[in-house]
Amino acid sequence: MSGEKTKITIIGAGPGGIAAGVESKVAGIEPVVILEKAKTPLNTIETLYHKGKRVDPVYRKVKVDPIGTLSFDTESKEEFLARMYNIIDKYNLDIRTQNEVQKVIRDSEDFKIITSSGLTLISPIVIIAIGVFGKPVKPHYPIPKEVKDKIHFRVSKTPPTNEKILVVGGGDSAAEVACFLADKGNDVTLSYRREKFFRMNDVNLKSIYDRVDANKLKLKMLSDITELKPAESRVEVVFKDNTSEVFDSIYYCLGGITPQGFLEDIGVELDGKKPKVDEYGETNIERLFLVGDIKEGKGSIMAAFNSAKKTIDRIKEKYKNWIHK
């Protein structure tokens, strides 16, 4: 096979992919190339995290302790991004942006990785670290075309003000978006289908109830949505109890989904929608690993860092003959 040869090709330049690149450097494995479809590394954090959003090593009330080279303490989005860009420079990581991977083809020995820009890499080992937030989870009911411009899955760089907004979800992202929009002077209601929050960390819970007490935010619990309807220039939300309410816009914070089709095309076996991997992230395809959210099934940055450390340690042990050829 013809193409640029690397020891490891990493797909995705989010926290997991960057950590895998760093751990490879620390282990003395070179050359390693990281492919990223967006214009910049850490694009999910750059675009989906609102300004000033807190980034911390606590996930679902559990602090994840570092086992590898990378770690961080609670800080803002901007501080975290600055930290990660310094790490990219410090370890001289070879990140090729605007290179969306279109095919990963397994030969008897190597993988051929072909990108949208025409780049072809040949590697004995591939690490996929594309996360789960590439495509947001959408509601099970249809979104009428007449209201699509009122439906959002992230906060834009210019957030709305003085709007009546419904935020849908019960996790940390929903809490942070609801609080952020409420602080911008909007009339915000947070809708959740359960009786109480159970996935939200303590800091976000306090933030929610502080704003409820200050009449800056309303909660609508046990509120399953069944339908959306156009209402002139707004959107009517119909709930399971047959009540309805009209909003200027709706923000869905329902999480991300595993990019199932991409993995299936490569030949990765799935258990339902979850990829089958061992404790080190290796799939049924020998020398093809998953790192970070796509392996762990959760959104913890520290867990992604640790996942990368485990994977590179395994590669050093199991495939030393491949990386030292």
The first and second tokens of residue 7, run together, are 């020891």
CATH assignment, 4-133+256-323: 3.50.50.60
pTM recorded for the entire structure: 0.76
Q: Are 97 and 39 in contact (CB under 8 A)?
A: yes
Rounded CA separation 79/42 (Å):
13
Residue pLDDT, tens place only, 270-309: 887 789 999 999 999 999 999 998 887 666 899 999 999 9
Please return the burial class of 279, using the count of CB atoms within 10 Å of its CB with bins 0-12, 13-18 and 19+: exposed
The first and second tokens of residue 148, run together, are 């699509």
Q: Is the pLDDT of residue 132 over 80?
A: no
With bands split at pLDDT 50, 70 and 90, how would you rate the model's confidence at 166?
A: very high
Residue pLDDT, tens place only, 55-114: 888 766 667 889 999 999 999 999 999 999 999 999 999 999 999 898 899 877 899 999
Rounded CA separation 319/314 (Å):
8
The first and second tokens of residue 47, run together, are 């675009």
CA-CA-CA-CA dihedral for 100, 79, 18, 284, to nearest 10: -80
The closest of 47, 33, 53 to 134, measured between CA atoms, is 47
Q: Is the pLDDT of residue 134 over 60?
A: no
Give the lowest-confidence range in 2-6, 213-217, 245-249.
2-6
Rounded CA separation 302/188 (Å):
31
CATH topology of domain 145-252: FAD/NAD(P)-binding domain (3.50.50)
Neighbours of 237 (CB within 10 A): 24
Q: Is the dihedral of CA 17, 300, 217, 51 positive or negative?
A: negative
Query: Strand 234-239 vs strand 244-247: parallel, antiparallel, or unpaired?
Result: antiparallel
CA R_g for the chain: 21
Q: Is the pLDDT of residue 182 over 70?
A: yes
The first and second tokens of residue 136, run together, are 């947001």
How does DSSP classify residue 317? H
With bands split at pLDDT 50, 70 and 90, how would you rate the model's confidence at 20?
A: very high
Domain limits, the chain: 4-133+256-323, 145-252
Average pLDDT over residues 143-166: 92
Report pLDDT for 227.
96
Report pLDDT for 209.
96
Average pLDDT, the chain: 91
Please return the burial class of 4, using the count of CB atoms within 10 Å of its CB with bins 0-12, 13-18 and 19+: middle
Rounded CA separation 219/167 (Å):
10
**104 CB contacts (<8 Å, ≥6 apart)?**
11, 111, 112, 113, 114, 126, 266, 288
Cα 253 to its chain centre, rounded Å, is 12
Is 145-252 the same fold as 4-133+256-323? yes
